[in-house]
Amino acid sequence: MENKRRPGRTRSTEVGEVRTLERGLHLLEALSEAETLSLSELARRTELSPSTAYRLLETLRKRGFADWDEDRGLWKVGLRAYQVGSAFLTRGGLVDAAMPEMEKLVDELNETVNLAVLDGNEAVYIAQVEGRQLIRMFTRIGARAPLYCTGVGKALLMGHSEAETRRMLGAGPFRAFTDKTLTSPEAFLSAIGEAQKRGFALDNEEREEGVRCIAAPVRDNRGKVVASMSLSAPASRVPDERLDGLGQRVRRAADAVSARLGWAG
């Protein structure tokens, strides 16, 4: 869907194409992709003349977006590019990267899908796409939830060591929201273990009677778990037979987001 809510776009002249800037960005991309990065090699890949590539790179370097390894005579991506790029996640970029997949999930399965991140030792919901079913979920954007009794919480901890997980959970016993709530660290850790084997986590009416959630972790470019995506539905619509299929589907969606963020794993 393109943004066609600008009726004034009558002309077909492609506006906003500044060649010099495009070339510079292209160089940056080439820098981030390749391994061996001499000036001549870069010029070849970007199809620029050496002198042009040189001047652009020099500009990138002066701004810190590129670095010049004097010993090896090779170029690489600079600190400034990293700084600017890392603003992406904190400026709502994570949500942008995830929304398309979340919407796909909802289109397909017609259940509410949430995205959550870790904050302190709680999960915080940062995005939601509602299913069209009439039953309303309890979570809202910005809401917080404990880790031990939610799908997103479990998925968020799937990347962490047992020691870390224990620390974040605290000693227990945890408050039981329902009679299915896991109230001991041991029970939780065992659930996490299963989740890791399966690739997705489960909240089996542990927070709210009659609500099941299926969640999977989202990883950044280095493989660190930065968020988790969950599908929430009345237990009646998530019978045991469908569990595995739904789980795989949620996991695929989460993996797609991870891939977008540069996770190769």
**Residues within window 16-35 making contact with DNA, judged by CB under 7 A:** 16-21, 23
Q: Scan residues 141-170 and list those touching DNA (CB under 7 A).
A: none
User: Total residues at the site for DNA (CB under 7 A)?
Assistant: 32
Q: 């700084």: which residue's tokens?
A: 83
Phi, psi (rounded to 5 degrees) for 108: -80, -45
6 residue type, one letter? R
When CB distances are held under 5 to 8 angstroms depending on the partner's kind, the choice from DNA, a copy of itself, none that residue 163 binds is a copy of itself
- Site map for a copy of itself, 100-139, x if CB under 8 A? ------xx--x------x-xxx--x-x-----x-x-x---
Shortest approach of a copy of itself to residue 32 CB, angstroms? 4
40 lies in the site for a copy of itself, by CB under 8 A:
no
6 lies in the site for DNA, by CB under 7 A:
yes
Of 1, 2, 11, 36, which one interacts with DNA (CB under 7 A)?
11
Radius of gyration of the chain (CA): 23
Of 9, 44, 63, 180, which one interacts with a copy of itself (CB under 8 A)?
63
53 lies in the site for a copy of itself, by CB under 8 A:
no
d(CA 217, CA 122): 15
113 residue type, one letter? V
Q: 5 to each of 13, 99, 100, 200, 259, how far by Cα in Å?
A: 18, 20, 20, 39, 30
Shortest approach of DNA to residue 4 CB, angstroms? 9
Q: Are 26 and 32 in contact (CB under 8 A)?
A: no
> 136: exposed, middle or buried (C-beta count within 10 Å: 0-12, 13-18, 19+)?
exposed
When CB distances are held under 5 to 8 angstroms depending on the partner's kind, the choice from DNA, a copy of itself, none that residue 136 binds is a copy of itself
Strand-pair category, 74-77 with 112-119: unpaired
45 lies in the site for a copy of itself, by CB under 8 A:
no
Q: Are 203 and 213 in contact (CB under 8 A)?
A: yes
Of 26, 34, 45, 55, which one interacts with DNA (CB under 7 A)?
55
79 lies in the site for DNA, by CB under 7 A:
no
Q: DSSP readout, 10-78?
A: ---------HHHHHHHHHHHHHHH-S---HHHHHHHHT--HHHHHHHHHHHHHTTSEEEETTTTEEEE-
Shortest approach of DNA to residue 77 CB, angstroms? 16
Q: Scan residues 160-189 and list those touching a copy of itself (CB under 8 A).
A: 161, 163-164, 167-168
| Site residues (vs DNA, CB under 7 A) | 5-13, 15-21, 23, 38-40, 43, 48-52, 54-56, 58, 68, 73
